[in-house]
């Protein structure tokens, strides 16, 4: 069933687990992610990045999510990921997305506040949740979102408090040492900064740059307020590598390739779901 982000995240935040947000831009990613949710019975977020408007329109993304999501008993949220264009954000709200991320993190603080506040007023009136971002992630390898010029700007806890009070966002993405893309070295996650932000904000926090994080780092972040974790690059890297290896030895029909790719997406999504929901899965085993 299609769900609103705020409901899924608040539940995760108070119960100490995180919801996985996986980038979706073609049939294979939508289907692989929803299949993983169905098999584990754990909610997921389908993150359609504004970057992927070249692959499909907002309306097509919504139609696929609605058609596959409504066949599922597990809550599925269709979310607009990283969008700095207000017109596209408003169109996603009109189209039926359950959540939007207005990303004004590259703007001066006051302008980010002004735009995010406007998005919140409109989105909330329509029952849609809003994520925003403060700070900036650096870029790792093979990222589709980061650019090599991106440098880490850690989120400043007092500024985060001022931002959330002024805008009333439902969730805030924070920069604490993760990168967009695969890690070149061992990540240095600043749990001290995260802890300070969490103490001041008490709303679900979002971790971008989930690809390649260890289970230990993930659990450490969840314990300090992270309730949504985004994964994109690793799914793509794995699916492309597996497809390449398969094509080296087979001459499949196009339809078989698509089925395989749904399976590759599902494998990575299930791996992260198991890290993000350690606590819930352990409780359901008892
Ligand atoms: P990765 O590509 O590093 O997994 O990051 C995904 C992300 O943050 C999407 O917004």
State in Å: Cα 218 to ligand 1 middle: 14
Q: Is the pLDDT of residue 172 over 70?
A: yes
Ligand 1 touching residue 231 (CB < 6 A): yes
pLDDT of residue 145: 77
State in Å: Cα 116 to ligand 1 middle: 21
State in Å: Cα 55 to ligand 1 middle: 18
Ligand 1 touching residue 29 (CB < 6 A): no
Q: What is 5-285's CATH topology?
A: TIM Barrel (3.20.20)
pLDDT of residue 143: 83
Sign, CA dihedral 67-144-42-37, equals positive
* Mean pLDDT lowest among 73-87, 111-125, 178-192, 234-248: 178-192
pLDDT of residue 138: 81
Q: What proportion of the chain, given as a percentage, has pLDDT over 90? A: 85
* pLDDT digits 0-9 by tens, 234-273: 999 999 999 999 999 999 999 999 999 999 999 999 999 9
Close Cβ partners of 88 (under 8 Å, ≥ 6 residues apart): 50, 53, 58, 80
CA distances from 103 to 63, 97, 130, 169, 226 (A): 24, 16, 10, 12, 18
pLDDT of residue 152: 83
Query: Active-site residues: which are they?
Result: 81
* pLDDT digits 0-9 by tens, 58-103: 999 999 999 999 989 999 999 999 999 999 999 999 999 999 999 9
């Amino acid at each position: 069933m299609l769900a609103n982000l705020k409901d899924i995240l608040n539940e995760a935040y108070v119960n100490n687990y995180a919801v996985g947000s996986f980038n979706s831009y073609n049939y294979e990613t939508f289907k692989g992610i929803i299949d993983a949710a169905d098999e584990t019975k754990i909610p997921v977020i389908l993150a359609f990045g504004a970057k992927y408007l070249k692959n499909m329109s907002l309306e097509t993304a919504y139609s696929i999510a609605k058609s596959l999501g409504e066949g599922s008993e597990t809550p599925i949220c269709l979310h607009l990921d990283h969008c700095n264009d207000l017109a596209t954000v408003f169109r996603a709200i009109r189209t039926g997305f359950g959540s939007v991320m207005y990303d004004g993190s590259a703007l001066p603080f006051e302008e980010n506040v002004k735009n995010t506040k406007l998005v919140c007023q409109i989105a909330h009136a329509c029952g849609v949740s809003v994520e925003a971002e403060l700070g900036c992630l650096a870029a790792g390898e093979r990222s589709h979102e980061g650019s090599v010029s991106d440098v880490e700007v850690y989120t400043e806890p007092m500024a985060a408090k001022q931002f959330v009070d002024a805008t009333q966002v439902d969730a805030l993405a924070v920069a604490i040492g993760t990168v967009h893309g695969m890690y070149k070295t061992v990540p240095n996650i600043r749990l001290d900064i995260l802890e300070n932000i969490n103490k001041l904000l008490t709303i679900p926090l979002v971790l971008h740059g989930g690809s390649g994080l260890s289970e230990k780092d993930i659990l450490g972040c969840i314990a300090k307020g992270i309730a949504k974790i985004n994964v994109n690059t690793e799914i793509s890297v794995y699916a492309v590598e597996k497809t390449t290896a398969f094509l080296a030895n087979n001459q499949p029909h196009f339809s078989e390739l698509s089925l395989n790719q749904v399976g590759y997406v599902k494998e990575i999504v299930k791996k992260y779901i198991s890290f993000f929901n350690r606590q819930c899965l352990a409780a359901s085993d008892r």
